């Protein structure tokens, strides 16, 4: 239901992609749904059948990379989830009403004021990072270097806003969300 709603909201916007299961922190965590355009908005889904066991770690991973985050949560977990997530996260409550699933905004997402640029850069696949590094250094990036070296070079050479824009650009232009060049 959420994906259908997001697809309707962003229909006809060629600058927006909706990504299922976006890997965060090199796959240690996944965002259920991510909307990427001029910003990144992550959505974490917790139905009444789920547990909240992983939510604290997911909250840290989401906060590291997303500009906005919304938790879509069943009524059963609402109060416990509010205690776990940051105040800037949005909350949508999922409940059945007359046999239909209904999403109701309890709190709108606010901007994340402290994203972590190293975590954001780690959304890049190795080949994407090498390409950006080559563009900013005006020479071919050394492909034999480890991924962490490449990320460090990007962080040292590229201004914060430009680097976040480059990451969003790469995410929007992937044909798949599975890396072939990690």
- pLDDT tens, residue by residue, 98-151: 989 899 999 999 999 999 999 999 999 999 999 999 998 877 777 888 999 999
**How would DSSP label each residue in 132-156?**
HHHHHHTS---TTS-HHHHHHHHHH
How far is Cα 42 from Cα 36, in angstroms, rounded to an integer? 9
87 CA to centre of own chain: 18
- Domains delineated in the chain: 2-107 (3.40.1350), 117-173 (no CATH)
CB distance 146 to 126 below 8 Å: no
Please count the CA atoms within 13 angstroms of the CA of 36 that sit on its side-chain side. 25
The helix/strand/coil state of 28 is coil
pLDDT for 182 equals 46
Q: How many CB atoms lie within 10 A of CB 173?
A: 9
pLDDT, average across residues 72-81: 96
Q: Euclidean distance between the first and final Cα of the chain, in Å?
A: 32
pTM here? 0.90
pLDDT for 178 equals 55
Quick one: what percent of the chain has pLDDT higher than 70?
96
């Amino acid at each position: 239901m959420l994906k259908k709603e997001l697809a309707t909201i962003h229909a006809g916007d060629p600058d927006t992609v909706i990504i299922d299961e976006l890997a965060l922190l090199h796959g240690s965590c996944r965002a259920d749904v991510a909307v990427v355009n001029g910003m990144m908005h992550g959505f974490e889904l917790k139905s009444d059948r789920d547990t909240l066991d992983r939510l604290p770690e997911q909250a840290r991973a989401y906060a590291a990379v997303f500009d906005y985050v919304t938790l879509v949560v069943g009524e059963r977990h609402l109060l416990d989830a509010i205690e776990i997530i940051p105040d800037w996260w949005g909350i949508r409550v999922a409940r059945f009403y007359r046999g239909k699933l209904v999403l109701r905004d309890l709190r709108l997402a606010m901007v994340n004021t402290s994203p972590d640029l190293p975590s954001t850069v780690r959304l890049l696949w190795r080949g994407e990072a090498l390409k950006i590094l080559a563009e900013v250094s005006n020479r071919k990036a050394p492909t034999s270097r480890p991924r962490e070296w490449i990320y460090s070079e990007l962080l040292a050479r590229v201004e914060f806003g430009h680097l976040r824009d480059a990451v969003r650009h790469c995410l929007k232009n992937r044909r798949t969300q599975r890396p072939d060049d990690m």
